[in-house]
Amino acid sequence: MSNVSGIVIDKDFEGPSLKELVSIMDEITEDPVKISWGNSHDEIALIRFYHTKNFMLYVDDFPAKDRAVAALGLSLDPPKAVLEKAKDTLNNQQKYDWRNFCDESKGGPSPKWLVLKLAADSLRKGNRPALAEIISPILLGGISIVDVDVLLRLKLRK
């Protein structure tokens, strides 16, 4: 969605929601308009309706950010350090510690979206990563995200 300039994690943000601003939206000149985001169907409809306005969304935590990114069709942009750590825990045999990484990630970026981002980035570079071949069972097949490392090792042994 091109009218969302970003999503900020700030549980102390006390700004208005988009629904609260509807009655004065035409008078707002701030760019971007800073709003508290709850990811409701009404808010999603309103943000699409006000396509000429630019918005900065404020959410409480990473899970809320993940939901907003998915609902609005935005690109995944996890912190590079977290993405690199996820990549290391899956690829570097000396650092295999995916289950602990998933446990430590609670409240942070979703490991499911990190795996998707790693696979997508690799595919964009023209690679055919084993990770891309196991994405479907992870996202759609009910396989637990903590078992990604096991699936990868099994895939690589074939």
Q: Tell which wins on pLDDT, 47 or 94.
A: 47
Please indicate, yes or no, whether residues 89 and 148 belong to a single structural domain of this protein: yes
Pick the last residue of a domain from 33, 56, 72: 72
Q: What average pLDDT score do residues 150-154 get?
A: 82
**What does the DSSP 8-state code read for residue 38?**
-
pTM of the model: 0.70
Residue 137 has pLDDT above 70, yes or no: yes
Please indicate, yes or no, whether residues 26 and 55 belong to a single structural domain of this protein: yes
Pick the last residue of a domain from 46, 72, 98: 72
- Find out whether 47 and 55 touch, Cβ atoms under 8 Å: yes
Q: Name 56's Cβ contacts closer than 8 Å, sequence gap at least 6.
A: 4, 5, 6, 7, 8, 32, 33, 34, 35
Q: What average pLDDT score do residues 104-129 get?
A: 85
Please indicate, yes or no, whether residues 10 and 60 belong to a single structural domain of this protein: yes
Backbone angles phi, psi at 7, to 5 degrees: -125, 125
Please indicate, yes or no, whether residues 13 and 35 belong to a single structural domain of this protein: yes
Domain count, the chain: 2
Pick the last residue of a domain from 72, 99, 128: 72
**Mean pLDDT taken over the chain:** 87
Please indicate, yes or no, whether residues 65 and 92 belong to a single structural domain of this protein: no
Tell me the pLDDT tens digit for each residue of 21-76: 999 998 998 999 999 999 999 999 999 999 999 999 999 988 888 889 888 988 87
Domain extent at residue 61: 4-72
Q: What average pLDDT score do residues 133-145 get?
A: 81
CA 152 to CA 51: how far, in whole Å? 42
- Find out whether 55 and 36 touch, Cβ atoms under 8 Å: no
Please indicate, yes or no, whether residues 84 and 153 belong to a single structural domain of this protein: yes
- Find out whether 32 and 1 touch, Cβ atoms under 8 Å: no
Sign of the four-CA dihedral 137, 143, 149, 155: negative
Residue 14 has pLDDT above 70, yes or no: yes
pLDDT value for 79 = 83
